[in-house]
Amino acid sequence: MSSTHSMKLVGKTIVITGGTSGIGYQLVSLLCPTNTVLVIARPGARLENLKREFPRIETYGADLSKPEQYDALADSVLRDHPEIDLLINNAAIQHTPGFLDDDFSFEAIAHEINLNFTAVCSLSFLLLPALLDEQRASSIVNINSGLGLVPKKASAVYCATKGAMNLFSQSLAYQLESSNVLVSQALLPLVETPMTTGRGSGKISAENAAIEIIAGIEMGVKVNNIGKVKLIRLLQAVAPWLIRRILKNG
């Protein structure tokens, strides 16, 4: 765990993807009272309900599984907010059927990769002009998973996107290390969200996950290992065979 610059999250302009449920919703709830929060999510009732619950937020409807929407989305955000302090790439989906299962969907592969990874790379690039500014500190924070370190048997594409996010975050951090933009990631254990309903045990709450993410951002932590991810890191170092066996059927 390392830190380069701190950022008090008060009076900031913050972009959050996937803010209508789970961790994203909790981030919106915690950050919107003292910041300008821009939420990117699929257009529809959930985004409309979020706006009604938090009237101060600004919403941008887009389907991040469709790369053809990225340019127009970014143009709209930059037109309204030429300066952004923080981009939180949070939106994600996990399809659980395996390749040999009857209910596996071929179309789900591109959908999952685009939403979980292509959108992260694309928005980090397209919104970068609003983050770059020698006079202030800004951050890109990628919400990752312990499965980006060690995969499980189910959800192979999801694990791959999270592994890719891990390496992307490190490489982009190298590219921007001489700029004002800190690139970091928060690696989460199993969190109680709509995506994980009926799966696993010992989950942390989405609210606690959001609190930990915010604390890491404010301290300028580059790699925020949350909860049981600390144990994954330890076992990777001392008994990699054991953590692979534990997570394989996790």
What is the average per-residue pLDDT within 160-175?
98
What pLDDT does 2 receive?
41
What is the average per-residue pLDDT within 210-234?
94
What pLDDT does 196 receive?
52
Report how far residue 34's alpha carbon sits from residue 56's, in angstroms, rounded to the nearest whole number: 10
- Chain-centroid distance of CA 173 in Å reads 15
What pLDDT does 200 receive?
54
Exactly one of 60, 70, 158, 174 is catalytic; name it: 158
Query: Is 70 an annotated catalytic residue?
Result: no
- Render the burial of 184-215: b for 16+ CB within 10 Å, e for the rest: bbbbbbbbbbeeeeeeeeebbebbbbbbbbbe
Mean pLDDT of the chain: 93
pLDDT band at 193 (very low <50, low <70, confident <90, very high): low
Domains and CATH numbers, the chain: 13-248 (3.40.50.720)
CA 154 to each of CA 25, 160, 226: distance values in angstroms, whole numbers, following the listed order: 26, 11, 22
What pLDDT does 180 receive?
97
Residues for the chain: how many in total?
Answer: 250
> Alpha-carbon Rg of the chain, whole angstroms?
17
pLDDT digits (tens, 9 = 90+) for 77-96: 999 999 999 999 999 999 99
pLDDT band at 244 (very low <50, low <70, confident <90, very high): confident
Helix (H) or strand (E) holding 144: strand 138-145
DSSP 221: B
pLDDT digits (tens, 9 = 90+) for 23-52: 999 999 999 999 999 999 999 999 999 999
The alpha helices in the chain, defined as continuous H runs, are 22-31, 45-53, 70-80, 107-113, 119-126, 128-131, 156-176, 206-219, 229-238, 240-248
| Angle, vertex CA 141, rays to CA 139 and CA 142, nearest 5 | 155
